[in-house]
Amino acid sequence: MNKAIFLDRDGVIISDDGLYYITNPYDIKINPGITELLSWLQSEGYLLIVISNQGGIARGIYTFSDTERVHSRLLDLLKDHRIKLDEIYYCPHHPEIEKCICRKPDTVLIEKAISRFNIDAGKSFFIGDRETDMEAAKNAGIEGILVNANQDMSLVKEIIKDKKGTS
């Protein structure tokens, strides 16, 4: 079985400082320390899987293709650091428009990843900046790591080292 790090996108990988929705690929700023963290996680053998709520799609603020463009730009930026995200899953729904079972804190997207990549939830972590991320993680049996939005993400390295040491 594989181990994985699940990551929220906005506020964790990408800076969402001053932006509620990130719709323009050239607006993307990756957060401080995130490339260092992701490189390290990759070298430790973790799959890197993004789980993101993109309710702006349902609300008509941006489209699927805008979202795909943001993701391909993100993949390019990370590729410069030899980092590969194994998958980006996102929920395009919004509860005011259309109810669904994939928006965090629901776990369908996490479960999809678990089954597709044969992931051991007990050896995996979810890094998120919101309580809904932590709830989703918990609902899927994954330990959550709550960070501050747009903080220096390299600090998470020590948290994961500590948690592995005690488990």
Give 41 or 102: the residue with its C-beta nearer to Zn ion: 102
Instruction: State in angstroms the smallest separation of the CB of 38 from Mg ion.
Output: 16
| Structure token pair of residue 68 | 């795909």
Dist. CA 7–CA 95, nearest whole Å: 22
Q: Of the candidates 10, 38, 134, 142, which one interacts with Mg ion according to CB under 5 A?
A: 10
Catalytic annotation on 106?
A: no
Q: Of the candidates 5, 13, 57, 91, which one interacts with Zn ion according to CB under 5 A?
A: 91
In contact, 141 and 132? CB cutoff 8 Å: no
Query: CA 2, 80, 147: angle at the middle one, nearest 5?
Result: 55
Dist. CA 69–CA 167, nearest whole Å: 39
Give 39 or 132: the residue with its C-beta nearer to Mg ion: 132
Dist. CA 131–CA 6, nearest whole Å: 15
Q: Of the candidates 5, 77, 102, 140, which one interacts with Zn ion according to CB under 5 A?
A: 102
Residue whose C-alpha is closest to residue 71's, from 54, 46, 94: 54
Q: Which does 3 bind (CB under 5 to 8 A by kind): Zn ion, Mg ion, none?
A: none
Binding residues (CB under 5 A) for Zn ion: these are 91, 93, 100, 102-103
Binding residues (CB under 5 A) for Mg ion: these are 8, 10-11, 129
Residues taking part in catalysis? 8, 10
